[in-house]
Structure 1
């Protein structure tokens, strides 16, 4: 995954992988919850700072995202739609 000059390459194995280019030295773990759902947990200085869950619809047309920003006490939800 890549964004804003940062990014990471990770496997669905629950191990920590560094987010390259991140000045906060965040590491990420990713795991597959079920065939349609992925969970990402971000850690900074040994603490969980963000929990993200991406759930693809069975028809593959949408992905529901829930982002719990624990560092700021906010939760954001949104749906990504596949473009034609």
Structure 2
């Protein structure tokens, strides 16, 4: 993770954008909450995960599916 002060952002915008393509960048601000710059694909993935786990029912179903998948992958194949 990289960190920049928001007051210095204008002079370093191209550098910030290059770094954001690799990792998240935190923009620190005096007297205000920090901001984070991430790639759009990362943001969309986070939004998808938030939506998928938004309800207990969805969370339970997803976790059960993962457990079933892992059990199937770890089980011995049937020999005929």
Question: Rg larger in 1 or in 2?
Answer: 2
Give TM-score scaled by structure 2 length. 0.31
- Larger relative contact order (CA 8 Å, sep ≥ 6): 2
Q: Could you say which structure has the higher strand fraction?
A: 1
